[in-house]
């Protein structure tokens, strides 16, 4: 949905000046670190069976059989596309070569590569045939490469990922074929970063089993030692071991399996941590996880007063898959979802509306106990984006949308992160859009609430700019992503945001956190990404603390984790690893943490943040309607700790982050609670 302009890469003189500057730095005594250079075919990482064929227009008899590509332009296709799985490439890409046998004269070949939200494109030439020919280029950025979307700055933002090879029809509407002999990348990596390691759970209902996947960025085999530790949530080691092995040269895959011995019957969690030790190599430990089945939430009533939302994004799914995701979310206790009501999909042509898909989406959510709020992001393809005419069309569409869903949706968010690249127009124009949208929504549904600003981070400068423009909104929405979670700082930031957007009469507007989360990707062996890698254990702890912190802040939040399901299967790309379930719907530890939190807090209300337990964070909840128990959520942010919690209760139960339960003794009016670093526990006590 994002529209972006294509920019011209830096001029050759500018690039020469950069090279001169680098040379001067080198002469000043900063020697470059030793590097390893490796050429490898793409199918070493992504088997050809996973490559796929697409088309712009009718593809006719176009085919891809894993080696031979048939291009049929006789049925009107403007382009035939050879597409690749969305996975990170190894190393830092310096050159690439596509070799084919056979001809496709008159059909220019364009390659796209991706880096985070940005796409690089370059036309490589033609396979004019009939013999074997290689099209070669330097990797981006550089001469001939254009770019669009995302940061739109022509810089590499993390590892490159292959997009597609596009064969354009040109003026030659024929059928031809060629054999793709090789698609090869030449890349570099620091000499001490040649090991690529990932881990996964390959367990069945009968056995717990883990796999370590290893590759060597090297033209020679790399010997070393694989070590592993299997441990439970609170630290006890179940088993550990090591194995000497040799990684094959040229990024060849070696998979090592580790079986777990029988677990105690009360086990709900197991972590496998792998490390690989090799001479002169720096490697990062990686983890995989096993979870016992999670007791589902069976209260599927709508509870719009609940703060416990999630970016389920049912709008990304169809049919049975959409129903599966809604059921998984409802079973975890999700009570809200942020959903995109795509203008181009609902109104593909001016005045022509298609409601069936989004009607079913709302119904599916509500049947699973989930209240939907709508985000309206992007311009329809047929309007003039970022013009007064486009704004008027957007508001007219919004008016029809609110009227259609008036009995089912009462919260409307205007755009996503307009303070950064998701909004490509002048910032003042966003204020105009919000002003007109607010008026239209209130005229169609006076009870509706308008969610505004939706900032990436907590962008106080942008918020002040919108307030100066008197842009109206009922609820401030923010996306306060951060590298780590410092609870007191986070709570203070939320309170500050609430103070900034007070109404002139002193009344507070609620502050909703409509995106926030931590990714569980494996670090790329060479390039950093915008998000830091975290273990799934850490993600689970961060999730629980995020919701508890937002509740304790007192800003009347709804919190929406980004996001519910992983967006892909690449263990390296962070955008593929933000979810609390995997791409195929298997719960991650964060799912267990969310389900545990919603179960423990069911029937509870926030009372206060406790400050009488030293450095321990404590958030107290009390029963609604005279319930029998109280809940105290506790955690020590940085270190293992023990808290002595005063209580007049006779009985106490401790539930850890992922739902493991134990009874505690109350002695002399207190409970001793053990707190593993960073991970909340819930102390449940009966009423005295």
* E runs forming strands in 496-651: 511-516, 559-561, 604-610, 617-623, 629-635, 641-646
pLDDT at residue 409 is higher than 70? yes
Report d(CA 119, CA 161) in Å as an integer. 9
Q: Which two tokens stand for residue 597?
A: 């939190």
Mean pLDDT, residues 36-42 taken together: 97
Confidence of residue 652 (pLDDT cuts 50, 70, 90): very high
How high is the pLDDT of residue 7? 31
How high is the pLDDT of residue 6? 29
**Could you tell me the domains of the chain?**
12-190 (2.60.120), 195-291 (2.60.40.10), 308-602 (3.20.20.80), 606-686 (2.60.40.1180)
- Calculate helix-pair angle for 460-468, 487-500, nearest 10 degrees: 10
Range scoring the smallest mean pLDDT among 20-34, 227-241, 595-609, 647-661:
20-34
pLDDT at residue 479 is higher than 90? yes
3-state secondary structure of 364: helix
How many CA within 13 A on the CB side of residue 290?
27
Cβ neighbours for 66, distance < 8 A, ≥ 6 positions apart = 48, 49, 51
Mean pLDDT, residues 441-463 taken together: 98
Mean pLDDT, residues 424-441 taken together: 97
pLDDT at residue 237 is higher than 50? yes
Report d(CA 214, CA 211) in Å as an integer. 10
Cβ neighbours for 400, distance < 8 A, ≥ 6 positions apart = 347, 353
Report d(CA 458, CA 529) in Å as an integer. 21
Report d(CA 519, CA 172) in Å as an integer. 46
pLDDT at residue 58 is higher than 70? yes
pLDDT at residue 11 is higher than 60? no
Mean pLDDT, residues 214-237 taken together: 96
- Calculate helix-pair angle for 589-601, 536-553, nearest 10 degrees: 30
pLDDT at residue 10 is higher than 70? no
What whole-number percentage of the chain has pLDDT above 70?
Answer: 95
Q: Each residue of 482-532: pLDDT tens digit?
A: 999 999 999 999 999 999 999 999 999 999 999 999 999 999 999 999 899
Q: What is the dihedral of CA 233, 237, 238, 239, to 10 degrees?
A: 140
**Residues linked to residue 180 through DSSP beta bridges, in sequence order:** 100
Q: Which two tokens stand for residue 351?
A: 């005045």
Mean pLDDT, residues 559-586 taken together: 97
Phi/psi-derived region of residue 56, left when phi > 0, alpha when psi is between -120 and 50, beta in every other case = beta
Across the chain, mean pLDDT equals 93
Q: Each residue of 135-187: pLDDT tens digit?
A: 999 999 999 999 999 889 999 999 999 999 999 998 889 999 999 999 999 99
> For the whole model, what pTM was predicted?
0.93
Max intra-chain CA distance, the chain: 90
Report d(CA 512, CA 532) in Å as an integer. 24
pLDDT at residue 3 is higher than 70? no
Report d(CA 89, CA 97) in Å as an integer. 14
What whole-number percentage of the chain has pLDDT above 90?
Answer: 88
| Size of the chain in residues | 688
Report d(CA 586, CA 589) in Å as an integer. 10
**Residues linked to residue 414 through DSSP beta bridges, in sequence order:** 376
Phi/psi-derived region of residue 29, left when phi > 0, alpha when psi is between -120 and 50, beta in every other case = left
pLDDT at residue 328 is higher than 70? yes
Count CB atoms within 10 A of the CB of residue 272.
Answer: 26
How high is the pLDDT of residue 32? 59
Distance of CA 499 to the CA centre of its chain: 30
């Amino acid at each position: 949905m994002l529209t972006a302009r294509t920019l011209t890469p830096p001029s050759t003189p500018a690039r020469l000046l950069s090279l001169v500057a680098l040379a001067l730095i080198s002469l000043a005594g900063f020697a470059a670190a030793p590097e390893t250079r490796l050429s490898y075919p793409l199918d070493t990482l992504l088997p050809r069976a996973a490559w796929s064929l697409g088309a712009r227009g009718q593809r006719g008899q176009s085919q891809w059989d894993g080696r031979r590509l048939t291009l049929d332009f006789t049925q009107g296709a403007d382009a035939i596309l050879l597409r690749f799985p969305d996975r990170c490439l190894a190393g830092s890409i310096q050159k690439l070569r596509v070799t084919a046998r056979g001809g496709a004269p008159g059909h220019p070949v364009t390659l796209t590569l991706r880096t985070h939200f940005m796409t690089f494109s370059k036309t490589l030439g033609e396979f004019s045939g009939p013999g074997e020919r290689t099209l070669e280029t330097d990797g981006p950025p550089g001469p001939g490469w254009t770019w669009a979307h995302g940061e739109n700055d022509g810089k590499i933002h993390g590892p490159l990922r292959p997009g597609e090879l596009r064969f354009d029809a040109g003026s030659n509407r024929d059928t031809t074929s060629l054999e793709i002999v090789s698609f090869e990348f030449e890349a570099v990596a620091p000499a001490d970063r040649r090991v690529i390691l990932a881990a996964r759970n390959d367990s069945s209902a009968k056995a717990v089993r883990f796999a370590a996947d290893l590759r060597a960025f090297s033209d020679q085999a790399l010997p070393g030692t694989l070590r592993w530790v299997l441990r439970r949530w609170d630290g006890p080691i179940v088993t550990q071991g090591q194995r000497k092995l040799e990684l094959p040269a040229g990024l060849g895959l070696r998979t090592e399996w580790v079986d777990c011995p029988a677990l105690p019957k009360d086990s709900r969690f197991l972590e496998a941590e792998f490390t690989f030790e090799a001479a002169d190599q720096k490697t990062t430990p990686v983890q995989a996880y096993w979870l016992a089945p999670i007791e589902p939430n069976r209260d599927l009533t709508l509870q719009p007063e609940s703060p416990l939302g999630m970016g389920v994004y049912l709008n990304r799914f169809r049919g049975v898959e959409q129903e599966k995701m809604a059921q998984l979310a409802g079973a975890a206790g999700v009570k809200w979802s942020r959903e995109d009501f795509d203008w181009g999909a609902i109104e593909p042509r001016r005045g022509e509306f298609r409601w069936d898909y989004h009607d079913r989406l709302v119904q599916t959510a509500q049947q699973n106990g989930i209240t939907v709020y709508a985000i309206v992001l992007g311009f329809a393809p047929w309007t003039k984006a970022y013009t007064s005419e486009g704004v008027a069309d957007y508001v007219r569409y919004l008016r029809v949308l609110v009227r259609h869903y008036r009995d089912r949706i009462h919260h409307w968010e205007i755009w996503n992160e307009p303070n950064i690249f998701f909004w490509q127009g002048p910032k003042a124009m966003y204020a105009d859009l919000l002003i007109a949208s607010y008026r239209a929504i209130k005229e169609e549904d006076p009870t509706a609430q308008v969610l505004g600003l939706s900032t990436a981070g907590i962008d106080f400068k942008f918020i002040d700019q919108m307030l100066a423009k008197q842009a109206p909104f009922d609820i401030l929405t923010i996306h306060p992503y951060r590298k780590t979670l410092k609870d007191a700082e986070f709570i203070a930031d939320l309170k500050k945001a609430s103070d900034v957007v007070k109404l002139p009469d002193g009344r507070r507007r609620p502050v909703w956190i409509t995106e926030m989360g931590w990714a569980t990707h494996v670090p790329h062996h060479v390039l950093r990404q915008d998000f830091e890698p975290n273990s799934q254990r850490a993600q689970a702890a961060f999730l629980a603390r995020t919701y508890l912190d937002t509740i304790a802040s007192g800003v009347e939040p709804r919190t929406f984790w980004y996001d519910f399901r992983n967006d892909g299967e690449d263990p390296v790309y962070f955008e593929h690893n933000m979810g609390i379930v995997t791409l195929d719907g298997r719960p991650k530890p964060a799912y267990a943490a969310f389900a545990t939190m919603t179960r423990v807090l069911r029937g509870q209300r926030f009372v206060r943040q406790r400050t009488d337990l030293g450095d321990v964070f404590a958030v107290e909840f009390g029963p609604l309607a005279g319930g029998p128990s109280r809940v105290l959520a506790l955690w020590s942010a940085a270190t293992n700790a023990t808290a002595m919690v005063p209580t007049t209760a006779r009985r106490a139960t401790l539930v850890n982050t992922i739902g493991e339960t134990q009874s505690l003794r109350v002695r002399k009016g207190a409970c001793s609670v053990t707190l593993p670093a960073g991970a909340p526990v819930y102390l449940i006590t009966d009423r005295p």
